[in-house]
Every structure is written in C-alpha cells, then in structure tokens.
Amino acid sequence: MRTLLRALALLLVAGPLSAAALYAAAGPDWADDALKRVLAPPLGLPAIAHPAANPPTAAKIALGRKLFFDRRLSHNNTTSCAMCHVPEQGFTSNDLATPVGVEGRSVRRNTPTVLNIAYVDALFHDGRDPALETQYVAPITAFNEMANPSLGYVIDKIANLDDYNAPFQAAFGAGPSPDRLGQALAAYQRSLLAGASPFDRWRFGGESDALGERERQGFELFTGKAGCVACHAIGESSALFSDGLFHDTGYGWQREQERQGKGGMVEVEIAPGVITSIPHSVVQSVGNPPPADLGRYEVTQDPKDRWRFRTPSLRNVTLTAPYMHDGQLQRLDDVVAFYNAGGVPHDGLDERIKPLGLTVEEQVALVAFLKSLTGSNIDQLAAEARVEEPDNIR
C-alpha cells in the first residue's frame, strides 16, 4: 500500500513517466562505475589485459556506449550494434537463430553475446579478428549488417553530427577517426563484465551454500564424466569457461550434412503456414545451395580447421539462447542432448566428443549447473546501456 501511495505521489509530482525517465535507471556517473568494474572485475573474472594504445577511461566508455546504440552508424539510420546485441537479451538476439541487418538482409551466423568479450582474443565464431579496436569495421561495412559503403564514409558522417563533437573531445581531445571510433567501442564493450554468479560465489567466494545439491552434481559431471571442462575451462582463481581454441565438436559437420541434404527431405513453406516435405535434390535443382560454413578453415585455409569453431564461454549462457554458431539449438537441454549423443563420427571430430551415457537425471543436473553461471550484475549492465535514449530516436 505504501509503495502504491509513493508511486501515486511520484506521478503527481513528475507527471506520467516520460520516455527519458524509463531510460534513466542508471545514474549520471554510470561510466565511472563501469570504469571501476573494468579495473577490478567482478568475482570469478580475471584481470583484463588492456591494449597499451587504448587504456580505459570513463569518457571513452561513455562515447562507446553512445556509438553502440546509435542507429545513424548504419547507412540508412535503422540499425545499431545494440539492435543485434540487445542488452535485455544477454547482449545477443534471443528470437533469431541468425540476425537480420539493414533492409531485412540475413546474416549467416548466430549473434554472439558481447558480455565478457574483454577476455576473447580471437573474435567471431571463426576467430578472424584479433582486437575489438578493429572488429567493428566488419559489421559497419557488411552489406547485410550496417551496410555502409566504406569506413571513411561513416567517419565523415559522424564528424558532421554535432552531438559527437563534445564526447570525442572529452575522450580523445580530437574528432572522429577510424582508430578513435574503434577505441571507444572497444572500451565500452570491455566494460560489459558479468560475474559474481552463484557458481563464482561457491567456487571463488567461499559460499558453500551458493549452489544447491543438483548444481553441485552438475559441476561434478561438467568436470568429470561429461568432460566439458576440457574445452570450457575453469581456472584456479577465475574461470572463463573457454580455452579460447577451435574445435570440431561434430556440430558444424552435422549441420553441413543437413544443409547438403545428403539423402534427406527438406521442409519447404509453399504458402504462408503451409509446410510440406520434399526431397532435397528437388530443392537443389531449382535454387542455389545455402552457403557452407567451414568455420576456422575460412580463416586459415588449413584443411585440419574444417568445421572447427571457437569454444564460446558458457558464462550467462542461460540468457544467450539460441545456441551454436548458427543458432539452431533452442535450449540448453538440446545442447546437452547433442553432447550426450557424441556427434557423428567423421574425419576431424575431436576425440573428446563421444557418447557420454548420461542419464536423464544427470543431463538435468548438467543444465542446472549451466544455469548457475549467470552474473549477478546483469540488470546493472542493461540499465547502464539504457542510460539515455538511443540517439536519433528523439
């Protein structure tokens, strides 16, 4: 009752909630808080190795946030980074296996989260870019993402937007340039650290009751019978749940077989809502085959790297569905069932991927453990992200 009265009183004083009030859940000093977080990461996360040329500052983080949410960074002012990396959806897109860029053009792979991206040395599912400072050039100029004709074109566009003069001066004492754009975006994304999960409190914080019995059973399986920890690594004083390496789990190969339709049937929507199955050979005779995804091979051209993908972190994995590089597994149960089956034998399959013989109860425990990896400060990160309305919406 008292809360209700207070809400009514607030309404009388402030009037109906304005759009601005909705976005103002984080305080004006949010970038200082973000900087503190970057310098002393939450429990369970290691220190960040910042590039010498781009030490973090609150002004860079603030500018990076503004850029990340600005739809004017796309050619037709419709698509911002945050529209695929959505703060309220674990900084990814929960509803889409693969995202859609400018003018409804579709992208081949699933959107990875940018939470804890500070610890990733090889960016993208195939690890093709070594630094956040340069990574942004890909989405900004990709025809099916933000569709700008060139990087110089965007820099020139931003230089002519009045509201960027002050933030660029504050962050760099200079106007927009390709390097500065990359440095600001990188500084903001490195501040998106999500840790202090129930698992972290249990493992690194000495809170023996932070995990329940089922989660602890899941941990035993994760590090024992199921063998997950071999690639989704856990350290002594921190854990990234990734070895940062590339492996053939059999998933990519299996998907490729399905795409090629080796002997199979394909579901085709012949009219809205009307779906029928036809032999794959018929589909192939009337259209181009969907593009293959050879993963790491596309970067190295080394046949050994065919169907290898980077091990993703499993932190916050409950928030980042759908799963795998093409987003075709909807639920964590599906992923665990995939591993339990052990993949289809083929050349290159990682030797650790084999039938696991997990009971239903053990699979449930494993999923319960994965659910304990959600950071405690996710809401804070989303509130900071929405501290102002996205630019050009006003």
Binding interface with ligand HEC (CB under 6 A):
68, 73, 79, 81, 83-85, 99, 101, 107, 109, 111-112, 114, 117, 120, 123-125, 132, 135-136, 139-140, 145-146, 185, 189, 226-228, 230-232, 247, 249, 251-252, 309, 311-312, 314, 317, 320, 323-325, 332, 335-336, 339, 350, 352-353, 366
Cα(283)–Cα(286) distance, integer angstroms: 6
By beta-carbon proximity to ligand HEC, the closer residue of 122 and 283 is 122
By beta-carbon proximity to ligand HEC, the closer residue of 37 and 125 is 125
Assess whether the previous peptide bond of 290 is cis (omega < 30° from 0). no
Compute the least distance from the CB of residue 1 to ligand HEC, in Å: 44
Residues 204/126, Cβ–Cβ less than 8 Å: no
Assess whether the previous peptide bond of 322 is cis (omega < 30° from 0). yes
- Where does residue 18 fall: left (phi above 0), alpha (psi -120 to 50 degrees), or beta otherwise? beta
By beta-carbon proximity to ligand HEC, the closer residue of 63 and 140 is 140
Compute the least distance from the CB of residue 343 to ligand HEC, in Å: 10
By beta-carbon proximity to ligand HEC, the closer residue of 13 and 110 is 110
By beta-carbon proximity to ligand HEC, the closer residue of 179 and 350 is 350
Compute the least distance from the CB of residue 324 to ligand HEC, in Å: 4
Compute the least distance from the CB of residue 375 to ligand HEC, in Å: 15
With 0-12 CB in 10 A as exposed, 13-18 as middle and 19+ as buried, what is 299? middle
Compute the least distance from the CB of residue 93 to ligand HEC, in Å: 7
Compute the least distance from the CB of residue 219 to ligand HEC, in Å: 11
Cα(103)–Cα(175) distance, integer angstroms: 30
By beta-carbon proximity to ligand HEC, the closer residue of 188 and 204 is 188
Cα(188)–Cα(61) distance, integer angstroms: 4
Cα separations in angstroms, 15 against 2, 10, 388: 19, 8, 19
Angle made by CA atoms 197, 229, 246, in degrees to the nearest 5: 110
Cα(167)–Cα(63) distance, integer angstroms: 6
Take residue 67 and report the two structure tokens written for it: 């850029």
By beta-carbon proximity to ligand HEC, the closer residue of 178 and 283 is 178
Cα(287)–Cα(283) distance, integer angstroms: 6
Contacts of 106 (CB under 8 A, 6+ apart): 98, 99, 100, 144
Radius of gyration, CA atoms only, the chain: 23
Take residue 188 and report the two structure tokens written for it: 């903001």
Cα(315)–Cα(318) distance, integer angstroms: 8
Compute the least distance from the CB of residue 312 to ligand HEC, in Å: 4
Quick one: CA torsion of 335, 336, 337, 342, rounded to 10 degrees? 100
Compute the least distance from the CB of residue 65 to ligand HEC, in Å: 11
By beta-carbon proximity to ligand HEC, the closer residue of 201 and 308 is 308
Compute the least distance from the CB of residue 378 to ligand HEC, in Å: 15
Cα(352)–Cα(290) distance, integer angstroms: 30
By beta-carbon proximity to ligand HEC, the closer residue of 59 and 221 is 221
